[in-house]
Structure 1
């Protein structure tokens, strides 16, 4: 979903698929929003010509030494504070040894035994059910380069522009039990890193890459053998890949075959996963402390300076919306899906003083229209002030909800229009003249004696038929609340 809020879906349960319990954990690489790389001053800008942004340090030329990027450390601290983690006062960089053509040094500088961010949790809603996924750690590391496969000439090129780009790898406990829950977690994590500005979240450009570790087991049994689905670059493909992998593993076990630990890729064209290589364990990487980098020491004062400069976090803002505007926890969470949605809501709520109605319109009518055009709130043609004016006209009885939707149709097509001008031009004002309305009610009652008898005999649905006739007689301009009150008075007398 690309628009303002998530659609409300049924709450998840502890799902069993063909008698198996699904177990999912995530490793996410968030590319940090620094201008330069983690251990060099080379640019991190996306889209440059191949190998034009790789300096001597990135190329691992003899005699070069890495120098830590302070901005990358501060972004890691921000993330830790955002998810309630422990910020390690002292952490260590290690060399992760493996051979790959786009890894110039023959090892990757990462963190192993002592990461900078430890513990924490990501909380989110799945339907009306509140979920929490525990984090194991988040550690700093450098990215590798990129292999470019030119199939039409049968060659592979190496682009080292990305080598040395700063990453924060965020690792969860295996707490998720369905693909829906996994996608909801990934969306919430994406929201957090983009909200606090440490990552631009562009999945197509590889700024936010998710790896899902999937296994299945019979309830009560030990964890099954996991297979890691690498580099899932859209939420849609993420759910498809996990669902396919679950079915595949269950079929293998049901056929009496054991699951082999492996790294797999998802092919969106076929909708299938395929094994890429046998999955390595930590011992295979021969981690050892990097002798070129001293321990990373983070004083409490540094953490507090970072905390003081952070924007209001989404969970804090949601709690404030619930307290200040009387919203439910669910609605407050939906209205803080992005900073832009939250700002739009708050501006409209303050302008008209009807926070609940504003929230309902954003989560309903506005979201529906944006979804239809696959747009987000930044593309909304109706300003927060216009929405506030429209809701004000509903609240003061000038127009009905149905008429308000007609006004919204015009505003959406002609954003420069004024709410009151549209109401006048289309003749949408409600009939608030009690005398005129009473005449219509009397006429309808006289013309529908059967409905009157049925209502007085206890058939409550007969009232709806009468209301419909009155609204028709007023050409839809009668105030529904007035109609119901007046009708009940007449029928009771």
Structure 2
């Protein structure tokens, strides 16, 4: 019987903070500008320049720590992390090392209905590196003709959230990262746009024989830039390491890169140890010693976090668990629902339309909620008109699809496309008589006690009226006529 193995996973998540300026200078913190346009002598490391810490970045870091139930230390230091690489204009990075600002928190996640508590080792602040552009067909180091450096990102405030090695499956890692991203978005400290590099992840993974306490050889998968990539890279690496150990092949501590096209990890470089970076305290910066009252003020002002929001949606709005998870886990979706409810929409009905037909339209057209033309007013009007019987379910779906396409008001769409539901019994009586006369089979079945036959007759009424009849009114008329 083959030996059983256990996987051990820890994540290092890098968060670019949404401050107006960089960490130690006044250069704009903006994405997408012309290369090397947001730089100055300080972030380029010119001799004689001195860094000045960004207070807002320190505040945002403390908020992240508080949201993760970390302890905010009374005395924190910046260090110089020394290494030589083209994306580091100073040839060192200002970072926090052995005295980070936030330590010892946790994050609770749910996987397959089971609660898991993942420890947080530290939340520390540093500056980001520049961006290397590899010119060539692949856009990667391998096969590149040459490389270019864009230092616009160099010096951007960067927070690193380091977990304990508490995760045991790729599913747990995915759940942890998803929840962390939702918390960061709720705090408003980052735009968490993974496609722009605002949120990145390095995953540490090792395997060991089941039951053994000693950790296996750690492999670090670098710069994973999507939740899908995190899951798939860890799933592949887990199987690769187990297969190697079963074959008697040793594993080396190294970094690896995820190849999205081939669905494999590839070797990077041997992994450095802390001593290789020759850390020492940054001589040009004083320690950070936050005022306890200031910290408590930040704690009091924290917004509602996703876990609390999901509970509220289930308790107050009576949403299903999966609806509360989908809507409550995203600030944009939560704000959308809250606005629709404030406009008079019944919460559960609004959530049904959002997580059903609207979500399907967004997937079909590969759009985000924020980028679509549908607004909370559309959902509020849709819920109201459907509840009143003004439009049928089919009519509501048609109206929503048209609103998604054009952004036109729901009532205008209903009027222009003739989607109003006919609820006047007098207007439907003639159609009901025709259906009874034309369908003797279902009529006799219903009179014989087969209740389901009534649905077939209602369907014929809907067909004759091209979906405009109110099915409840049609059913009542049919029942009264056939039972009379």
Q: Describe how 1:40-439 pairs up with structure 2 within 5 A.
A: 40-48=25-33, 50-51=35-36, 53-123=38-108, 132-150=117-135, 154-222=145-213, 223-307=215-299, 310-416=302-408, 418-434=409-425
* Runs of 5+ consecutive residues of structure 2 not aligned to the other structure: 137-142
What is the root-mean-square deviation in Å for CA atoms of aligned residues? 3.5
Following TM superposition, by how much is the alpha carbon of 1:248 offset from its aligned partner in structure 2, in angstroms?
1.9
Deviates more, 1:444-453 or 1:263-272: 444-453
> Distance between the aligned counterparts of 1:446 and 1:50, measured in 2?
76
Change (3 A) 1:410 1:60: closer
Secondary structure of the structure 1 residue equivalent to 2:181: helix
Alpha-carbon deviations, 1:426-476, whole Å to 9, x = none? 443334344665776677567666656767888665554444344445543
Following TM superposition, by how much is the alpha carbon of 1:211 offset from its aligned partner in structure 2, in angstroms?
0.8
Of 1, 13, 16, the match for 1:31: 16
> Distance between the aligned counterparts of 1:419 and 1:204, measured in 2?
34
Q: Is the 8 A contact 2:24 2:155 kept in 1?
A: yes
Paired position in structure 2 for 1:13: none
Change (3 A) 1:482 1:283: farther
Alpha-carbon deviations, 1:11-67, whole Å to 9, x = none? xxxxxx995444322111111222333233344333455555444443444444433
> Distance between the aligned counterparts of 2:198 and 2:390, measured in 1?
49
> Distance between the aligned counterparts of 2:47 and 2:228, measured in 1?
44
Number of matched pairs: 476
> Distance between the aligned counterparts of 1:128 and 1:365, measured in 2?
26
Change (3 A) 1:452 1:309: same
Secondary structure of the structure 2 residue equivalent to 1:109: strand
TM-score by length of 2: 0.84
Following TM superposition, by how much is the alpha carbon of 1:148 offset from its aligned partner in structure 2, in angstroms?
4.4
Change (3 A) 1:484 1:262: farther
Change (3 A) 1:310 1:446: same
> Distance between the aligned counterparts of 2:423 and 2:271, measured in 1?
72
Of 463, 471, 477, the match for 1:480: 471
> Distance between the aligned counterparts of 1:351 and 1:212, measured in 2?
43
Following TM superposition, by how much is the alpha carbon of 1:281 offset from its aligned partner in structure 2, in angstroms?
3.0
> Distance between the aligned counterparts of 1:180 and 1:381, measured in 2?
34
Q: Is the 8 A contact 1:128 1:330 kept in 2?
A: no
Following TM superposition, by how much is the alpha carbon of 1:107 offset from its aligned partner in structure 2, in angstroms?
3.5
Paired position in structure 1 for 2:139: none
Secondary structure of the structure 2 residue equivalent to 1:347: helix
Deviates more, 1:261-270 or 1:62-71: 62-71
Secondary structure of the structure 2 residue equivalent to 1:406: helix
Secondary structure of the structure 1 residue equivalent to 2:196: coil
Alpha-carbon deviations, 1:260-290, whole Å to 9, x = none? 2210112223322111111223344343433
Secondary structure of the structure 1 residue equivalent to 2:195: coil
> Distance between the aligned counterparts of 1:72 and 1:289, measured in 2?
19
Change (3 A) 1:256 1:75: same
Q: Is the 8 A contact 1:81 1:307 kept in 2?
A: yes
Change (3 A) 1:154 1:331: closer
Q: Is the 8 A contact 1:125 1:330 kept in 2?
A: no
Deviates more, 1:220-229 or 1:144-153: 144-153
Secondary structure of the structure 2 residue equivalent to 1:371: helix
Change (3 A) 1:177 1:437: farther
Alpha-carbon deviations, 1:85-123, whole Å to 9, x = none? 222222222333333344344433222223212233344
Deviates more, 1:57-66 or 1:188-197: 57-66
Change (3 A) 1:249 1:74: same
Change (3 A) 1:465 1:175: farther
> Distance between the aligned counterparts of 1:423 and 1:237, measured in 2?
43
Q: Is the 8 A contact 2:345 2:379 kept in 1?
A: no
Change (3 A) 1:51 1:424: closer
